[in-house]
Amino acid sequence: MDSPFGFVAELTYRCPLACAYCSNPVNLSDYTDELNTAQWRRVLAEAHELGVLQCHLSGGEPLLRRDLADLVASANDLGLYTNLVTSAIGLSRPRAEQLRAAGLDHVQISIQAHEAALSDQIAGTPSFQRKIEAARIVKELGWPLTLNVVLHRRNIDRIAEVVRCAELLGADRLELANTQYYGWAWRNRAALLPNRAQLERAEEVVRATRARLAGRMDVLYVLPDYYSQYPKPCMGGWGKRQLIVTPNGDVLPCLAAHSLGLPRASVHEESLASIWAGSPVFQRFRGNGWMPDLCRNCDRRDIDFGGCRCQAFQLTGDASRADPVCHLSPDHHIVTDAVRAANETTCAGEALLDLRPHRG
């Protein structure tokens, strides 16, 4: 068993945006009792002792935490590399300078599109201009800047324009990540899943962009699971390299594991080391002993680790089944049916979105 390399601290699920593709839990009321500053400091220290090197401060919107700079300073004192994952709403120059002084290492800003009208529509609130201003502040203060764009039917045809926007902002890294269908995104899958023609055009743009910007900007393109032949390895393997702590102190091996109904592990009751080593939620799908014969006998069992357990549960109701994304899965028809529907749907269906509520 390896030590965890990355640690995602989901400081709050409150957020000023209302993105229809949000993968955070739908039942936000279960996470209102957030860890306080002292508790987060203890968790950070335990993560460091466990071997964590990278700390991703996420949410929701972590800038809504008034103690964010204090938590950054604590992580920095422990020698952790800190990355702020943010919508950038609230990243004013004074707040940015405070975080810079606290030792924040990196900033990742989400943008929804390349221009205000579409971006604000997708985000559910006027926000684009504030994101652009915040990105400029990040570069002026000397941070490396990552722009993250969640791709879906409404914006995937604008990748070239998004790339141009990233270039103008001087982004060091551009993440083009197709939607993962959990939480609100699951509710909106029919309106968000792109069609095959859109994906083919997008991949052509990405190939050309990578060639043109080689050495100047890293461009990461995350393929949509539903169009892949094999599933992706979930978080580098269940309970293998990553752990997540939610706002209320629950500890999870992946971002959507709360949906599986597994026994709860909480920092209120155990240390991170104890949870990592022996808790049922981390042991349940660790290694390959849990795998059905199809996965256990597959040459890819140590490559994709059986695929995503949360996706298997979402699509079949059984987290132990082979991920239906895999073309060898007996449930693969569930995915092909969804893809077929996406390729038959006209743009008229795109208005049917269930927006995540504002919880700022």
Known binding residues for [4Fe-4S] cluster: 15, 19, 22
Distance separating alpha carbons of residues 300 and 11, to the nearest angstrom: 35
Residue positions forming the annotated binding site: 15, 19, 22
Burial class (CB in 10 A: 0-12, 13-18, 19+), 250: buried
CA distance 71 to 66: 10
Q: CB-based burial of residue 197 (10 Å sphere; 0-12 exposed, 13-18 middle, 19+ buried)?
A: exposed
Cβ contact 194:156 at 8 Å: yes
CA atoms within 13 A on the CB side of 73: 11
Amino acid at 54: Q
- Which of 253, 213, 221, 258 has the alpha carbon at shortest distance from 237? 253
Strands 251-252 and 242-245: antiparallel
**Phi, psi for 221 (deg, rounded to 5):** -120, 115
Which of 231, 196, 187, 254 has the alpha carbon at shortest distance from 21? 187
Q: Token match 């629950």: residue?
A: 250
